[in-house]
Amino acid sequence: MLVRCPLLFKVHGHFFITTAISDTINPSILIMRKKAWVVFLCCCPLLAIAQNNTIKGQVKDSLNNPVPLVHIMILQADTFVVGTITDSLGSFVIDNLTAGSYHLKIAAIGYQDFDQQFIYKGDRLDFGVLQLQTESIVLDGVELVGRKKLYERRTNSLIINVEQQITSSGRSTLELLTNTAGVSVSQQSNTLSLNGRGQVAIMVNGKLSRVDGPALLSLLKSMPASEIKHLEVFNNPPAKYEANGSGGMINIMTKSKNTVGTGGTFSFMGGYGKGEKTGVSANFHSQKGKIDWSGSYSFNRNRSPEEWGLQSEFNNLAVRKKVYTTSLRKPTTISHNYSLGLDYGILKNTDVGVALSGYSSKWDMIAFDKVINSNGADELESLDIETNEINHWNHIGGNFRIQQSLGDDHKLIFDYDHLYYHDNNPSSYKIASGFTEIKKKTPITFNIFSLDYSWALSKNVDIEFGAKKSKSKFKNTVEVSSDNGLSSVTQMEERVNALYSSFQFQLGDKTRLATGFRFEHTSNELTEEENESFIRRKYGNLFPNLSIAQQITDRHNLRLNYSKRINRPSFNNLAPFILFLGPDALYSGNANLQPSLIHKIGVEWGWVGKYITLEFIIEEGAIIEFQPRLSENGEQYIFKAENIDKRNILSLSFNVPFSVAPWWQSETLFNYQYETLETLFLDSEFKRNKGMYKLTSSQQFSINPNTRLELSGYYQSSSLFGISTFGARGAFNLGIQHKLKKNSGTLNLSFSNVFASDNWKIKTLHSNPNINTLETYFPESRIMALTYTKGFGANKKKSKRGRTSADEEKKRIN
């Protein structure tokens, strides 16, 4: 039986239950007790009128989310003295408490008991953040489980608690991002964008991923969704993080972080759509005294047939022709993902940590392409092509960290990361008249140094500043057997040096100001040996951000924000690649891309778990993937990324969670955006505008205490894609979860893309320049997956030494 928000109190040895929202326990005596208890708590503050002094604090859960409508009790020798209720930000204030020795008590079903002794001297006292830990509690033989909402709003980010999603079973993290967080994946360019607003940066457990393109997609494909705890979506990331990514940033938090004791989980997965899927994963942790170590490993094998298509017309030739290309692809992906970390408290205030992580992802495909040409006289010509391609990414990375606490209010953190990636991407095209082979190898190396300092200057002022130095290089070698000027050797070295500072001010009891500045200087050198060309880019930019939060009432708050960001060209575009889709079309990179600059202005109104956000985005030089153009001889379409001169987006979004019934929880996220763009493309002026909306919904039903059913899905209307138009698409998913008796594990059965509707259609139709193409992509659909998960050992979410570096990272993110 699920109780959504009940609270449990113990006074003089007796338990009382109260709740701000309806629950599923309906005995009349409990209802009378709840009403009496609420009236008693509300009246108690009126009885304490001794001195005009203040006690305050803020209650948050284990994810650092504010917990509203929680009852706070002050007891003396087990006797209730005074109480209050937290507001929508989890904050509370108690006035007129006399000096003495007390207990601060917070007890709630779904959370571990919180009890803290304190001596009050009669002056102002700030408890700071009081963190509740999620827990299942048994009351009168019934297990009452605290369950997080799917979407939770933090100070400047959106938390998506994907571990609550039954339908995520059997998926990869990449599929999870696509169906849950509003991320779009360009299968041709291997890039990610967030809600159509540009490229998005990806972090894993607070560490920024340094690669993009196929390397990033290989990483996300190798991570099973069952290992993900929650996603944190930043629309306007703080100054601490790099300014790259016009679409914002997503932090992927995995499980078994910040745990005490020894334990972990393991899972097995099997599934089938149009091809078989198998997977196994495990993670472990051990935290005893000064030593904290953890690790994880996952293996996945996925055969996922798919279909590509391209219809194109050539009207500039002497004889007009139409080309219909269909590619039936049968890829199999085998991936291994691993991590190992160790933290050691060498001194009372000094922690040292080392971490090793890596993956191997091999995508092996055979495709059968059919190309049909039709000229103006309706004469047909058919061509069959057999394509073989391997894309094998290997990665290994190491991290070294020292964290030094300088008293209670100062902290210094030094980080060094060394990352190595290698891609081996051979392909071949076999037709009746000949054979073409392409060999492509790309090693990439990163070295990153960072130093961060934080200082709690006072109870109302927090300061943070730091520096980062990043150096990366790659060498991309492409050898084409038929050559035709397509072979190349490209090298790039890039240096990014950054300084940042951020400030947070509490201006009175209801106003909070957060601001920051980040300066980045980028030096980029790109050389192509074949053409003896050399491109050098040097630029420096200042990236400010500002956020003002105003608590209007206990249930309502208002927030204004501004930020400036940059979108740098991806390595995948700067390191030229070639992908043929028949003899009449190819996809390629663009080494001439320039970075784009983005300004974001937004206002948000929130009330008790719900919010409405209005945002305006101005982008100069926006990078739009794979815009079609005709080759110089007019006989081939070339798809590559282009800079768009101006792009503006007006966006409105709101989240409405509510309870339809005690056994039915509903979460709905709606987004509407209106986009305009202006650009000069192939000597022709384009002015386009279009509205788009996206609806994401999750409906969860509690069938019994151990069984849940979930229906989830999304729908997105057609939208602009540069000079092209992206067609409407959506998906419907179904999942069932059952917890086995005696803690024997959990079974998840999921069905994804049930109606085979998550398909792509990209249409480009213009007369000047004369371009007429239709790209289609039909991924694998109707996938059924069964996952078994079992936890072992201790899994209490608790910090090892009070406030660890991970906690500070979360604080800085907030």
Nearest Cα residue to 228 out of 173, 303, 267: 173
SS3 7: strand
User: What span, in angstroms and rounded, lies between the C-alpha atoms of 272 and 275?
Assistant: 5
Sign, CA dihedral 24-26-29-35, equals positive
- So what's the pLDDT on residue 461? 92
SS3 3: coil
CB atoms within 10 A of CB 749: 18
User: What span, in angstroms and rounded, lies between the C-alpha atoms of 25 and 4?
Assistant: 10
Give the 3-state secondary structure percentages of the chain, helix then strand then coil, rounded to 5: 10, 65, 25
User: What span, in angstroms and rounded, lies between the C-alpha atoms of 231 and 173?
Assistant: 10
- So what's the pLDDT on residue 143? 41
- So what's the pLDDT on residue 588? 85
Q: Position of tokens 């190819």? A: 586
- So what's the pLDDT on residue 236? 72
What DSSP string describes 749-768? Answer: EEEESTTS---EEEEEEEET
Q: Do the beta carbons of residue 67 and residue 109 sit within 8 Å? A: no
Residue 191 sits at the vertex; the CA angle it makes with 189 and 193, to the nearest 5 degrees, is 135
- So what's the pLDDT on residue 799? 37
- So what's the pLDDT on residue 619? 94
- So what's the pLDDT on residue 131? 85
- So what's the pLDDT on residue 29? 40
* SS3 annotation, 257-296: CCEEEEEEEEEEEEEECCCEEEEEEEEEEEEECCEEEEEE
Sign, CA dihedral 40-43-49-52, equals positive
- So what's the pLDDT on residue 128? 87
Token pair for residue 36?
A: 């009496």
CA distances from 744 to 139, 147, 265, 749 (A): 21, 20, 12, 16
- So what's the pLDDT on residue 804? 31
For helices 213-222 and 173-180, what crossing angle results, to 10°?
Answer: 100
Phi first, then psi, for residue 362 (nearest 5°) are -115, 115
DSSP-derived pairing of the beta strands 746-752 and 760-767: unpaired
Strand partners, 441: 424, 477
Token pair for residue 695?
A: 């609806």
Token pair for residue 108?
A: 């709630």
CB atoms within 10 A of CB 304: 18
Q: How many residues does the chain have?
A: 814
- So what's the pLDDT on residue 209? 66
CA 109 to chain CA mean position, Å: 29
User: What span, in angstroms and rounded, lies between the C-alpha atoms of 297 and 665?
Assistant: 34
Please, is 209 exposed, middle or buried when counting C-beta atoms within 10 Å of its C-beta (0-12, 13-18, 19+)? middle
Alpha-carbon Rg for the chain in angstroms: 28
User: What span, in angstroms and rounded, lies between the C-alpha atoms of 65 and 232?
Assistant: 12
Residue 19 makes CB contacts below 8 A (sequence gap 6+) with 3, 4, 5, 6, 7, 34
CB atoms within 10 A of CB 115: 12
Please, is 609 exposed, middle or buried when counting C-beta atoms within 10 Å of its C-beta (0-12, 13-18, 19+)? middle
Token pair for residue 168?
A: 């995520």
- So what's the pLDDT on residue 195? 56
Mean pLDDT in order along the chain per 10 residues (814 residues): 38 38 41 41 37 76 74 76 77 83 74 80 85 57 49 66 65 65 53 60 70 61 71 76 74 64 85 94 84 89 94 79 92 93 88 92 94 76 92 93 86 93 93 87 93 90 94 91 79 93 90 93 87 82 93 87 89 76 86 90 85 92 90 87 94 85 86 95 92 91 89 93 94 92 88 93 91 94 92 55 31 26
Q: Do the beta carbons of residue 491 and residue 512 sit within 8 Å? A: no
CA distances from 43 to 71, 81, 84 (A): 13, 12, 9
DSSP 333: E
- So what's the pLDDT on residue 216? 66
